[in-house]
Amino acid sequence: MNNSPIQFSSDAPRLSVVIPVYNEEDGLNALFDRLYPALDQITSQFALSYEIVFVNDGSKDRSAAILAMQYEKRPDVTRVVLFANNFGQHMAIMAGFEYARGEYVITLDADLQNPPEEIRKIVRQLEEGHDYVGTIRENRQDSWFRKSASRAMNHLRDKMTRITMTDQGCMMRGYHRRIVHLVSQCEEANTFIPALAYTFANKPIEISVKHEERFAGESKYSLYQLIRLNFDLVTGFSVMPLQIFSILGMLLAGAAGSLFLLLLIRRFVLGAEVEGVFTLFALTFFLIGVMLFGLGLLGEYIGRIYQQVRQRPRYMVSAVLEQAKS
């Protein structure tokens, strides 16, 4: 673990914007057209320098080439980290954190769902001394299913972890270097960065930001990946699901014991009986379902422990495009 103190080199920019990119060839140029002017304007408004760290998460389309071209255009403020494979959005942000040098680090999606013009609001809060700027999406532009699933997960997370966020899913967020440094030291194989960062925040704040429809392409998350991500969120920050199962187990055992006693007494009072066989079947299958779910849940934790103990590298960087340090 790297425990070196936080260092600012004199030529490091004040603001780093970290953007994970996976198969975004159709939208990248539109992103550049809005992002660079927005940041240039912030530079003059707040008198701070910036850099943009793009992390190409093993895209299979032309994204890497487009990023390289953009690097040629603006090498002074652009850095590109190229992954050798697809390691997921949160790992891409982890790598971005590693390479970002700014005192403030802002993460952003590449699909223009988070308008770059809103970065200004986040910078203002960071300048005011907040070390974690969370965001709430103003009338979120996603499918009805995504929105209601999100709401349910937000609720569950709220009950099961000590993390309080209104809108956990919005990745456009601002962090102070101190928090980025702590997050970088966590060697978790699966994680959910906004939640992890929140656990280190001293003076968090939430602001609302605009949300737009995806500019081009489709969401890179399949239903399966969304389920996995939500398991990361719950298992990474709470063991309450396991405790719920222990309590449920106790209650069921208690109920079954009483039922047994009741049946025993009935046997002696009313005599032998074989009715209710199918009810018994239904009840048994239901309980088997509950048991399998519990077993699966245990597997979720154990699988993560297994991944963690193997200590394989979390991601592989194949190249970094950046200017040589003078």
Catalog residues that contact ligand UDP under the rule CB under 6 A: 20-22, 24, 57, 86, 88-89, 92, 109-111, 113, 219-221
Q: How far is the CB of 174 from ligand UDP (least distance, A)?
A: 17
Sheet containing 317-321: order of strands: 204-209, 132-137, 173-176, 104-107, 15-21, 50-56, 78-83, 317-321
Q: Which does 304 bind (CB under 5 to 8 A by kind): Mg ion, ligand UDP, none?
A: none
Choose between 27 and 241: whose C-beta lies nearer to ligand UDP. Answer: 27
Choose between 13 and 27: whose C-beta lies nearer to Mg ion. Answer: 27
- Dig out the tokens for 257 from the structure: 């014991």
Report the C-alpha gap between 175 and 163 in whole angstroms: 16
Long-range contacts of 250-259 (CB under 8 A, 24+ apart): 252/287, 252/290
Q: How far is the CB of 254 from ligand UDP (least distance, A)?
A: 43
Report the C-alpha gap between 110 and 35 in whole angstroms: 10
Choose between 23 and 78: whose C-beta lies nearer to Mg ion. Answer: 23
Q: Which does 92 bind (CB under 5 to 8 A by kind): Mg ion, ligand UDP, none?
A: ligand UDP
Q: Which does 22 bind (CB under 5 to 8 A by kind): ligand UDP, Mg ion, none?
A: ligand UDP
Give CA separation, 83 vs 55, 80, 267, 308, in Å: 7, 10, 69, 20
Report the C-alpha gap between 70 and 9 in whole angstroms: 25
Choose between 148 and 258: whose C-beta lies nearer to ligand UDP. Answer: 148
**Do β-strands 204-209 and 173-176 pair in parallel, antiparallel, or remain unpaired?**
unpaired
Q: How far is the CB of 106 from ligand UDP (least distance, A)?
A: 14
Q: Which does 21 bind (CB under 5 to 8 A by kind): ligand UDP, Mg ion, none?
A: ligand UDP
Choose between 46 and 215: whose C-beta lies nearer to Mg ion. Answer: 215
Q: Which does 13 bind (CB under 5 to 8 A by kind): ligand UDP, Mg ion, none?
A: none
Choose between 142 and 158: whose C-beta lies nearer to Mg ion. Answer: 142
Find out whether 123 and 50 touch, Cβ atoms under 8 Å: no
Find out whether 77 and 311 touch, Cβ atoms under 8 Å: no
**Do β-strands 132-137 and 317-321 pair in parallel, antiparallel, or remain unpaired?**
unpaired
Closest CA to 159 of 240, 213, 260, 48: 240
Report the C-alpha gap between 152 and 146 in whole angstroms: 10
Choose between 103 and 109: whose C-beta lies nearer to ligand UDP. Answer: 109
Q: Which does 110 bind (CB under 5 to 8 A by kind): ligand UDP, Mg ion, none?
A: ligand UDP
Binding residues for Mg ion (CB under 5 A)? 109, 111, 113
Q: How far is the CB of 20 from ligand UDP (least distance, A)?
A: 3
Q: How far is the CB of 315 from ligand UDP (least distance, A)?
A: 11
Q: Which does 96 bind (CB under 5 to 8 A by kind): ligand UDP, Mg ion, none?
A: none
Q: How far is the CB of 29 from ligand UDP (least distance, A)?
A: 14
